[in-house]
Amino acid sequence: MIRRPNSPARLVPYTGLVCIIVLCISPVFLNGYLLYVATVAAIYALAGVGMNVLHGYAGQISIGHGAFFAIGAYVTGILTVDHGWPAIATVVPAVLITAGLGAVMCLPALRLSRWYLGMITLAMAVVIDDLIASDQSVTGGGSGLIGIPPVSAFGHDFTAVEIYLLFAALVAIALLLTRNLRRSPKGLAMVAIRESEIAAESVGVSVVRTKFLAFVLSAALAGLGGVLWAVLNGAITPDQFNTNLSILFLLIVLIGGDGRLFAPILGVIVLQVMPESLTVLSTYRELVYGALLLVIALFSPSGLAGLWTDTLVPAVRGVWERARGTRPRRDTADSSSRVRVGSDVVAQKRLTTLPTLSNSNPAALSLNGVTMVFGGLRAVSNVTLDVRAGSTHGLIGPNGSGKTTLLNVVSGIYRPTSGAVLVDGEPITQHSAAARARAGIARTFQLPRLLDREDVITNLVVGAHRLRHGSTAQWIVRTAQARRDEMMQVDRALSWLDFMGVTHLQKRRAGDLSHGDKRLIEVGRAMMSEPRLLLLDEPAAGISHDEIDRLADLIRALQSTNMTIILVEHHLDLVTSLSEQLTVMNTGGLVASGIPSEVIKESAVIEAYMGKSSLGR
């Protein structure tokens, strides 16, 4: 069933956008205190945009961005008051200093669990607040700085309305740029880290570098917010920047709808404009913030934006379409359906042949005396193995025999206790998982690790990470080249979906898929990276017979492209029919290796699988 393109139901999502734009323009008709409140809200929204990148996209928690805001404000205050700079010239040093400080602060925390960052930023904020309040000579101590000049350009002092419009325009620009970032490989890398760091590494994302980018960007935006705060108020004191401010920034994003584009706008409307109008609430600020945080975290993780797009819009559309009798069945893909990554709309093409893989140099893998010890357990013991380039190598063995551990050593999740891993004769033992993925080693996991909150197309496109280059600046302004690359990756993703026969899943959230479909999508994600070596970890586990047949066809098609494949599998028929070489592991060591039909007849193999007694029969 094809929806008429001019159906009013299609416009429902845009009514939200229109409301936001109207709300953002309406302060122009206000004056005095209410206009000031709206201008402050715009400043907080700017810091909120940064928090949305850090928490909404990359999933990292900061409880210290109030300190970056304070430092931005103080850099402007000190340069204008003590050194006579014009306010506008202080923007660059303020942003650079906050970004630099953010870089120093986040580095020690980025390798650890994400809540460490929350605690460290909190400690940092307290230390910085103390320093600002106590240092009389530079920051003016408790009495702060006064006499920051108002915003002016070409000898004209901006009116209050003009200042509001200027700040709102900055927020709009920041929103546009972060929207572009979200769709770029860097933004997808952030989302991948939020969903699963191990999955992110497996497609070549450098986890520390990506978190670093998110943190520095968000610190810079908070610093810019501080600059605007200083020039708006003309005077700054330390008590304007307490810990509640840091919590406010986090709360703005959580209430607005973590990771949604307009979350910061919705968040400030709820948290800043409404409480300021009801002054009673300001006395109980901590209590109100605490209660709101608790309710959001427990009952509505996707915030107001989530409420709008996931509940309200579908409900309104449903009512409308039921009234018109045009309600389409759910999950039905028709040939006219269109696909979006972010919001880019691309017409779909139909393909039936294997999507082209541009590389034709499969990797040869050698393991040289690899041993992996965990505490007292030798999970892998002195394994030496050669996998010929372009072949499919099966790896079987009972549960706990070390197959997955071996795969983790090859893909770089573990560094072996001793021994070496070589690809095409080059040792890669010390390379990180991400570096190996970038060199063309792709893998799937025993339990599929997808970006559960993202749609299937996005899950495939993130697989192409290693093939997509370009600077962050290039991506956030969306050069023609960036747009072309995005179109191309979406096309490739569609052709893989088509090839696997699951085009109808393209817009589904990965977390909602069946187990078998998740496995297919994960293989598809691996293929998007055009791997030279593909590691499949029990791809047939827990899927139906039909799905196993589909999987076998897929693997055969991949074999025809001359790719090196290592297949860890319990399903003996599948693995013997697909592999050219078969290796059997037991208790961490190799038991047998050779041509599949011969290997499975060897007594040691039967013993490993069936136990000793079955040999006697």
Partner 1 sequence: MSLPIFFDTLIEGLSTGCIFALVAVSINIMYRPSRAFNFGQGEFVLLGGVLSLLFLNSWHWPWLAAVPVLMLIGAALGGLTDLIAIRPVISRSATSSAWVITTLALSLILDDEIGARFTGATAVVPVPPLLTTTPMNIGSAQVSSYQIALLVLTVLIVIGLWFAYRTRHGLAIMALSEDREAALLRGVPAGRLNLVSWMAGGALAALVGVLAAPITQVSSGLGFELLIDGFIAAAIGGIGDNRGALVGGLVVGLAQSFGAVVFGPLYQDLASFVVFLVLLGLRPRGVLGEARVREV
Report the interface residues with partner 1, using CB under 8 A. Answer: 61, 63, 107-109, 111-116, 118-120, 122-124, 126-127, 130-131, 134-135, 198, 243, 247, 250, 254, 284, 286-287, 289-294, 296-298, 301, 374, 404, 408, 413-414, 445-446
Q: How far is the CB of 122 from partner 1 (least distance, A)?
A: 7
Q: How far is the CB of 416 from partner 1 (least distance, A)?
A: 12
Instruction: Count CA atoms within 13 Å of residue 528 on its CB side.
Output: 33
Q: How far is the CB of 203 from partner 1 (least distance, A)?
A: 15
Q: How far is the CB of 270 from partner 1 (least distance, A)?
A: 16
Q: How far is the CB of 602 from partner 1 (least distance, A)?
A: 30
Q: How far is the CB of 233 from partner 1 (least distance, A)?
A: 25
Q: How far is the CB of 441 from partner 1 (least distance, A)?
A: 15
471-506 b/e (C-beta count within 10 Å ≥ 16 → b): eeeebbebeeebeebbeebbbbbbbbbbbbebbebb
The residue written with tokens 């000049």 in the block is 149
Q: Which is nearer to partner 1, 201 or 517 (CB)?
A: 201
Question: In what order do the strands lie in the sheet containing 392-396?
Answer: 441-443, 533-537, 564-568, 392-396, 581-586, 589-594
Phi, psi angles (nearest 5°) of residue 355: -60, 145
Q: Which is nearer to partner 1, 243 or 576 (CB)?
A: 243
* CB 450 within 8 Å of CB 542: no
Q: Which is nearer to partner 1, 33 or 115 (CB)?
A: 115
What is the torsional sign of CA 389, 394, 397, 398? positive
Q: Which is nearer to partner 1, 27 or 264 (CB)?
A: 264
Q: How far is the CB of 129 from partner 1 (least distance, A)?
A: 10
Judged by DSSP in three states, 595 sits in coil
At a CB cut-off of 8 Å and minimum separation 6, what does 118 contact?
Answer: 61, 62, 63
Q: How far is the CB of 610 from partner 1 (least distance, A)?
A: 25
Q: How far is the CB of 477 from partner 1 (least distance, A)?
A: 33
Q: Which is nearer to partner 1, 124 or 494 (CB)?
A: 124
Closest CA to 557 of 294, 355, 409, 254: 355
Q: How far is the CB of 353 from partner 1 (least distance, A)?
A: 34
The interaxial angle of helices 160-183 and 185-195, nearest 10 deg, is 80
Q: How far is the CB of 61 from partner 1 (least distance, A)?
A: 5
Closest CA to 46 of 105, 101, 91: 91
* CB 592 within 8 Å of CB 584: yes
Q: Judging by DSSP bridges, how do beta strands 418-423 and 365-374 pair with one another?
A: antiparallel
Q: How far apart are CA 39 and CA 232, in angstroms?
A: 8
Q: Which is nearer to partner 1, 232 or 409 (CB)?
A: 409
Q: How far apart are CA 461 and CA 186, in angstroms?
A: 12
Q: Which is nearer to partner 1, 137 or 279 (CB)?
A: 137
Length of the chain: 617
Q: Which is nearer to partner 1, 60 or 503 (CB)?
A: 60
Q: Which is nearer to partner 1, 26 or 134 (CB)?
A: 134
Q: Which is nearer to partner 1, 124 or 566 (CB)?
A: 124
DSSP for 598-612? HHTTSHHHHHHHH-T
Q: Which is nearer to partner 1, 136 or 471 (CB)?
A: 136
* CB 102 within 8 Å of CB 215: yes
* CB 105 within 8 Å of CB 128: no
Q: Which is nearer to partner 1, 408 or 495 (CB)?
A: 408
Number of H helices, E strands in the chain: 28, 16
